[in-house]
Amino acid sequence: MSIPTLLDGHSGYAPTTTDPLLRRALSAAAPELVGAVSSIVGLSIDVTGLAGAVGDLVAIETDREEPTVAEVVAITPRTLRCMPLGSVQGLKVGMQARATGSPLMVPTGPQ
């Protein structure tokens, strides 16, 4: 069900999705899907609880300031198999992971 559908319901609310304040509020209230690291073997990190595609990036929360970013390289029925793009030091099973919703992007050409 889309946001305009929810706002168009029988409650008398008018669809005001063009209002920037309402857009920010709806965006902030949207649920965030959080997965978890289920296995770490060498440089292979398995994440469960997230949907994604090969090439997508996953941010894995760590004890450090910055999350470890990993690229999805394989998908099994229950997990995303990822390869880290940074340090894996300190990663543990059970750490939270979030899909970034975008692939790795590298600028090319004149800047």
What is the tens place of the pLDDT at every residue in 1-48?
444 444 444 444 444 567 788 888 877 777 778 999 999 999 999 999
Alpha-carbon distance of 77 to 74, in angstroms, equals 10
Is the distance from CB of 81 to CB of 46 less than 8 angstroms?
Answer: yes
What is the tens place of the pLDDT at every residue in 45-87?
999 999 999 999 999 999 888 899 999 999 999 999 999 998 8
